[in-house]
Each structure stands twice: as C-alpha cells, then as structure tokens.
A and B are shown apart, each in its own frame.
Chain A
Amino acid sequence: MLATLHIDWWMVLVAFLLVAPLLHAQRNLTVSVTSPLATLTAAGNSSDLQSMTVTSTWGGSGGFFNFGNVATCVSISSPLTGTNGNPDTIPQANIMVTATTIGTASIAGPGGCGSPIGLQVDTTGEWFLFAGSRTVTMQFQAINTGNLAADTYTGTINILVATD
C-alpha cells in the first residue's frame, strides 16, 4: 500500500506541476472607453443626454479558468466644477445614468464593484469560462441645472470593471 501510495504521490506531483502553472497563469481584465462622452448641454433644468460606451475584455493564458461574472460600475469622485472661481458645482447625485439593465439612476448610487460609491450599470449575468469581451453603452444626463451659473463644468468619470 505504501509503495502504491508512493507512486500515487509522484503522480499527483506530476499532475500538480502540469496543472498548476496553467491554473496560476496570468489572467487579465481590461476596460477601455470605446466611445467617449460628448459634452452635455443644459439650457434649462436638465441637460440633453449623451452616450458613452465602454468595452471590457478578459482572457490571458489562464482564460479558460476565468470563472465569474464581470460587473461594470461608474462613479464620479467629486462634484463637477466650473471655471474662474465659479462657486457653483454639479454634485454627483445630479448626474443620471441610463443603461439597459438598470434603467435610470443617479451615479451616486448605492455602490458596486466593491466600491462604496458609484453605480453598477451592467453585469455579464452568467459565469464566463473563456476569453471574451462585453460592451456597455450608457447615457448621461445632468439634472437640476436651472440655477447653475452659465459655465462649463468638468469632472471625471471613474470606470471600474470587476469579476466576482
């Protein structure tokens, strides 16, 4: 029995040496803005809607073992600010995002992708096994702009894509 076990250990070791590198092989996940957000124009109490598209890709040599969902989240870390000392700002809560899976919600949402702020706008909805990609298009609109000073307000959208 010991001899048999001894042989089995070697078999296991060989199997481990063969399999482990594959399982530990570098996986990767990337995200890019494939259609940037155009300038939103607010003539009244809300702006027009503009779209932004992001594409996530995953794979790598261990792509076969990429189990899990891929979620896409967006956030804005600070209010949009104007120019030349303009004290008015556009708070994150006044930036609305519309996406297929969520409808319309404030970007200052309840969190997502492991972040306490931001809004999850998409998930793959099923576990993925191989390398692949997913494209998410979302629309942005600024609301409650009626009392803002005429100016250009600028901020940064953070895009976070994460697996489970």
Chain B
Amino acid sequence: MKFTKVAVLLAVFALATVPMFGQLTATGTSQIKVVRTEWISFSVTTALPTLTIPANSLTSNSDNVVVQTAWNLGPSHSTGVQVCVSAAGALAGTGSNTDTIPVNEIFVTPKTGSPTALGSGTACGVAGAVAYTSYDTTTAAGRKNPTGTSENIPVYVDLGSYANDVAVDTYTGTLNLVAYAN
C-alpha cells in the first residue's frame, strides 16, 4: 500500500508540475544606428612650375598644377564636388620693382570650357575663384571616391588686357586651390 501511495503521489506531482519546466521567453527590440562620417581630402601633388613670358609676347606658357581630391559624402551633399582656383593677390616682383601682375591676368583653363581669368566669380564659395571641374555626387556611388581623382589644372598668364608691360623680373604669388562640397 505504501508503494501504491507513493506511486500515486509521484504521478500526481509529475502531472501537476509539467508546466513549471516549460520554457518561458520574452522579447524586445532596440534600434541600432551607425553613422559613417563624411570627409573630403585635397592635396597638391605637383606644384605649378615657373611660367615664362617670352620676349616680344604678353602671354606665358601654360603649365599644370596637379591636385588630388578624394571624398566620402552623405546624401545631403548631392550637388557635386567642385575644384576651384583663386589667387591670394597680385604677383609681386623682386627688389624695388613696383610692377605687379594683377590677379585678372592669371588664367585657368577649366576642364570643359574656355580660359577664364581669376578674380571674378564666387566658385566654391570663394570670391574671385574659378571652377576648374566638378564631380557628380547625385548618386550614392558618386558620393564615395576614397581613392581620389587627380586633375592637371592648366594655368598661364596673359598680359594682353593689362595696359602696361611689366618689368623683366620674377613675379611670385600664391594660388589657392580648394575642393568644395556644397
């Protein structure tokens, strides 16, 4: 009898306790957000060589300043990347030479278009800058260029619109180059 009672009790306990060993689960969610920050880099890989205005000429040879632009931009920058050139000021001679080569006698030949004098316009948001080229960033692929793109920017001096010839000398100034994502 004792065996029977124990067996019955065990059976009842087993039946009664089945649910307590069942698995319980609970779920939740949380948003995960990762922001890949945007960047743009720009460098002058080859400086502009010296330009020479030959005798009996008002126009120098054209030579290139070489720049490299790379970028990774977000969707808000879908209006393009521009590369622009401006001059910090007139080119100054040496010693007591007071002659200068004005900014508007320095020309850049855009990648598509005619030679354009510096000193007017506001390309790249810079007063007096000329846009050399622009890159399409309307697509996701266009907004990412991590390896970069190199450009040879032709620059020359033309004194043709300048009323006076300049003294024989070496004239020096600074070109400002900028990559710009609006």
Question: Which A residues are closer than 8 A to B by beta carbons?
Answer: 1, 4-5, 8-9, 12, 15-16, 19-20, 23-24, 27-33, 36-37, 39-43, 47, 52, 54, 56, 58, 62, 65-68, 76, 80, 82-88, 90, 95, 113-114, 140, 142, 145, 147-164
Contact = CB atoms under 8 A, between A and B. Distances in A.
Nearest to A57: B26
Contacts of A19: 13, 16
> What secondary structure prevails in chain B residues at the interface with A?
mixed
Interface in B154-180: none
Contact of A145 (B5, B12, B21, B34): B34
Interface in B31-61: 31-39
Nearest to A88: B140
Contacts of B21: 67-68
Contact of A150 (B4, B12, B29, B38): B38
A142 B28 contact: no
Nearest to A87: B140
17 contacts: A12-B9, A23-B16, A28-B24, A42-B36, A43-B37, A85-B140, A86-B140, A90-B34, A142-B34, A145-B36, A149-B74, A150-B37, A151-B74, A153-B33, A158-B27, A159-B30, A161-B28
